[in-house]
Structure 1
Amino acid sequence: MTLLFTNKYNKPIKKQEKQPLKAKKFTKLYVTPNFNQSTIANFPPQYFSGTQLRTLYNVPTVVNSTNKKTTIAIIIAFTYPGLKNDLKTYWQNPINFGSNSTPPNINIYTMPGATQNTGWAQEECLDVQMVCTMNPNAIVWVVEAKSDLVTDLMNAMAYTNNVIKPDIISMSWGINEVPELLNFTKYFTNNSISYCAASGDNNFASWPATLSNCIAVGGTTLLWTPNDTPSRTEYAWDSAGCGYSCIINQPTYQSNITNILRKNRAIPDLSMIADTNSSVYTVYNGNWYGIGGTSVSTPIFAGILSLANQLRFNNKKSSLTSVYSSTPNNTLSNYVPSPNNIQNFIYKTIYPNSTLYGNTFYDVTIGSIMGSVGGSSNNLTNYNSGSKFDITTGMGSPNATFLCNQLLNL
């Protein structure tokens, strides 16, 4: 029987169990979706519609001007038959795109044996609605894994990598690091794909976001005061996953970066709206919810990244990639990533140029988060936000139009 434990935000986390496999003992690893429903507010909550998010993050509209459309795949656990109906309800509400609008068509592939699960169904609705809001013109696939076992999710990853072959994969789930997870690195090495992963909602740096082949998306508290200048303010969200990896070495692109003080992978790379008190409106089972967590920020960023890819396709350029190396945990002090590698471009080209950085990212300088110490320690320590890159929010939150234009030039 699987035992349930609860963290301070009342999100159930399944205890690791043992199972026999090939006459050896391996850990049976479950992951949890990184979302929380807003319940008790520390300040009057603000819920945001999809159209408000597009405005606040300066998200451009990019249409396909060639025969190639960008493709996003969302990896999720379990199956939910109401996904398309909920997307329609979300889409046609007046706070979003209106009753005369047509919701995007989505494709669904369900791995054999998948059953239904309420918590993951809410996650699935959130992911789809955020991705489609950012890029309604993309080809969107939802790949439903049999369960929330890591092995089942990796089977879904294999299918996605080899059959769907998307440009971007969005993963709004994660698990605290254990060494066994290094066995799954091979599923994150397709250098035609950008892998976007949630940094987590329980302060610990979460796998697979800690992989150097993933873009780790953290969380902020987003406040909108329309009568003020600027009208948008972001703070570090105090539950977001951040810190240093226990199992992944520092990638070359993070070398010599201010405030990265250990030789382990540091996350997040960047952050967006995630606080449950600045939730996004989401429809599940025909009802409206305010949902927060890095499950919000991750599909939003994946959708924005797909816009950059579409710009590149329109200009006869190849897709971007987050893949740093086929052997990303090796210590490669002189390793040079692919020329279209996103992280290397952000850390080594945008970040050192103060004008480019200031135009491309909102520097989150307020807040603190408990995060992973990393290395040989499984403990947490306090990290403070500050100028430019910091462990709480990475580069900060993106100005989507500027980021897309910069990635077009890569």
Structure 2
Amino acid sequence: MKNVSSPGRRPSRTRSVVRPLGSLVVGVLVAAGVVAGPSVALPSGPVDPAADPSLSAPAVTESACARPTSGDARCLAEGRVDSTTRRAAASATRSAGLARATSGLGTLAATATKPPGYGAGDLRAAYRLPAGTSRATVAVVIAGDVPTAEADLAVYRATYKLPACTSASGCFRKVNQRGAKAPLPQADPGWALEGSLDLQMVSTGCPTCRILLVEGDDPSFEALAAATDTARRLGATVTSHSYGADENAFALQFSRSYRASGMLNVVSSGDFGFTIASYPAVLSQVLAVGGTSLRRNATAARGWTEKVWSGAGSGCSAYVAKPWFQHDGHCAMRTVADLSAVADPQTGVAVYDSWESPFSTEPGWYVLGGTSASAPLVAGMVGAAGTGTTFRNANAYQRTRFVNDVVGGTNGVCGGDYLCRGLAGYDAPSGIGTPNGLRVFTG
């Protein structure tokens, strides 16, 4: 087992904890139970990070987590760190940081500046997600602590008018990899931001689901597998995994945790394009989620268009046999991915995290991407459908009429093959496509 004091921390980039005053106020109010049902009045209309002239593409992006050592996984969050995005995020952070107490109940003050990036309403509209009442438990497995997880989740859900989800109500729960409330592992800025992204995307996919955050001691395959076992033991029916590493024989030793019945594991396909298949996404029992670039298009019937994101992970396994439901002809083994959703940081999602930033920015609002965004969003959708205990990949491959086919874009060089290009029907970077409502999960 690795040293629990430093999960994935990049030694050359240690930063001091800098928190804006506003986020401290919000954190204090939430911790004290004051912000029980916060709400934020936002200007009408969504923010499109690709169309907003203040966030002109192409933007500069950076990985939240450093390259892992052997035997460890890497979180897959990608952040926009260019100056225009940073200015827009800082402005939204200052606005969202204000808070006040009214009649004994806290409400976040009205915000004049919308967070940059796609918000919950945008994503729910893009994938035509219906209102629901599912109370399924969706787990997020992460390495290290997410120190301000509950407070930051409250800010995100209030901003986008999602119902509150707190530990006091029993909706939110945070435990270590053994299932106990304490001791919690040491926090790392990159993994902590990853955790906030995951929690907020799960909330977007299923606003009414219960959320369980299980924190592994470190980013080792052993610790993350143990955390996955704990999620199942504590009643999660869906678990999101926004991490991975190149498929290898050592990692496959821990596959049992992702193969056990009774819970669906939804896993990021990776952020490095067409390359070696990523573990644990390569396991045939998990739902491997690739990535797209999502943009508004008023002339499209759907109102949106998607193409393959250049970083979306895809690959052909060297170890895992081809499952019976995959019929692509140029990979004799398991092909990654199965399904996809927005992952391109250029068309990224809004995320709030008030703890230490892994980038050269102040904490607060971020525009993030990577298949770290698509996997938890899809995990939330499975939770909303209430099918985590019964859904199998084979089901989705038989329900392609309920997805948006992703045509266009490429994530590497493969001679124009489906393994690295968005083509009609199945292709490796986007799988069978992106969800169009929840029926791909329910039939």
TM-score range, shorter chain: 0.7 to 0.9
Distance in 2, matches of 1:173 and 1:303, equals 17
Counterpart residue number, 1:32: 74
- 1:181 counterpart SS class: helix
**TM-aligned CA deviation for residue 90 of structure 1:** 1.2
- 1:383 counterpart SS class: coil
Matched, 1:14 2:52: no
For structure 2, which runs of at least 5 residues remain unmatched after alignment?
A: 1-5, 13-59, 89-115, 178-182, 355-362
Counterpart residue number, 2:246: 176
1:107 to 166, 169, 173: 173
- 1:265 counterpart SS class: strand
Question: C-alpha deviations, 1:373-405, integer Å up to 9, x for none?
Answer: 9xxxxxx99722211111221101111233244
Change (3 A) 1:369 1:299: same
Count of aligned pairs: 339
Kept after mapping to 2: 8 A contact 1:135/1:307:
yes
Output the amino acid matched with 1:219: G
**TM-aligned CA deviation for residue 341 of structure 1:** 4.5
Residues 251-262 of structure 1: pairs in structure 2 closer than 5 A: 251-254=323-326, 257=327, 259-262=328-331
**TM-aligned CA deviation for residue 97 of structure 1:** 0.8
Output the amino acid matched with 2:67: K
Change (3 A) 1:166 1:366: same
Counterpart residue number, 1:279: 348
Counterpart residue number, 2:404: 362
Counterpart residue number, 1:62: 132
Residues 9-408 of structure 1: pairs in structure 2 closer than 5 A: 10-11=62-63, 13-14=66-67, 16=69, 28-40=70-82, 47-64=117-134, 69-93=135-159, 96-97=160-161, 102-103=164-165, 105-111=171-177, 112=183, 114-161=185-232, 163-203=233-273, 204=275, 205-226=277-298, 229-254=301-326, 257=327, 259-285=328-354, 287-309=364-386, 319-321=387-389, 340-347=390-397, 349-350=398-399, 357-358=400-401, 360-370=402-412, 383-406=420-443
The alignment yields a C-alpha RMSD, in angstroms, of 2.9
Distance in 2, matches of 1:300 and 1:381, equals 24
Distance in 1, matches of 2:414 and 2:316, equals 6
Distance in 1, matches of 2:405 and 2:286, equals 21
Distance in 2, matches of 1:243 and 1:190, equals 24
Kept after mapping to 1: 8 A contact 2:61/2:80:
no
Change (3 A) 1:51 1:15: closer
Counterpart residue number, 2:27: none
Question: C-alpha deviations, 1:174-203, integer Å up to 9, x for none?
Answer: 111111112111112221111100000112
**TM-aligned CA deviation for residue 247 of structure 1:** 1.8
Output the amino acid matched with 1:242: S
Kept after mapping to 2: 8 A contact 1:75/1:145:
yes
**TM-aligned CA deviation for residue 160 of structure 1:** 2.1
Question: C-alpha deviations, 1:107-157, integer Å up to 9, x for none?
Answer: 000245610110011111111111112212212100011111222212212
Change (3 A) 1:193 1:48: same
Kept after mapping to 1: 8 A contact 2:226/2:257:
no
Output the amino acid matched with 1:14: R
Output the amino acid matched with 1:97: K
Kept after mapping to 1: 8 A contact 2:128/2:436:
yes
Question: C-alpha deviations, 1:203-235, integer Å up to 9, x for none?
Answer: 232110000111000000000134654420001
Whichever structure has more strand as a proportion of its residues is 1
Distance in 2, matches of 1:146 and 1:131, equals 22
Change (3 A) 1:125 1:372: farther
Distance in 2, matches of 1:386 and 1:146, equals 41
For structure 1, which runs of at least 5 residues remain unmatched after alignment?
A: 17-27, 310-318, 322-339, 351-356, 374-379
Kept after mapping to 2: 8 A contact 1:75/1:144:
yes
The TM-score, its normalising length taken from structure 1, stands at 0.76
Distance in 2, matches of 1:401 and 1:208, equals 24
Kept after mapping to 2: 8 A contact 1:188/1:214:
yes
**TM-aligned CA deviation for residue 75 of structure 1:** 0.3
